[in-house]
Amino acid sequence: MKKSIKSMMADFDPAKYADERRAKLVDLLKQKAKEKTAVAAPEAAEEEGEGPADLVAALEEIMREVKKNR
């Protein structure tokens, strides 16, 4: 088994592989730099019911359901 695995092993050469996501991102950044335009980041809207207290309440509700179904 070890011989089989060892025969399939090869040195890793990162130059053989292209990072397509990185290349697309670099191209996009270069294009934006040429255009000299900025894109405003969207503001994150806080949704009601997403705070820690709501998580605790949700966990307590789940625990009540589990105890009731036992």
Q: What is the pLDDT along the chain (70 residues), one digit of tens a residue?
A: 888 888 888 888 888 888 899 999 898 888 888 887 776 666 776 666 566 778 888 899 999 999 998 8
Rounded CA separation 39/27 (Å): 16
Give residue 47's pLDDT: 62
Q: Residue 33's closest CA among 25, 41, 43?
A: 25
52-69 burial: b if 16+ Cβ within 10 Å, else e: eeeeeeeeeeeeeeeeee
Q: What is the pTM of this model?
A: 0.35
Rounded CA separation 6/58 (Å): 51
Give residue 1's pLDDT: 80
Give residue 65's pLDDT: 92
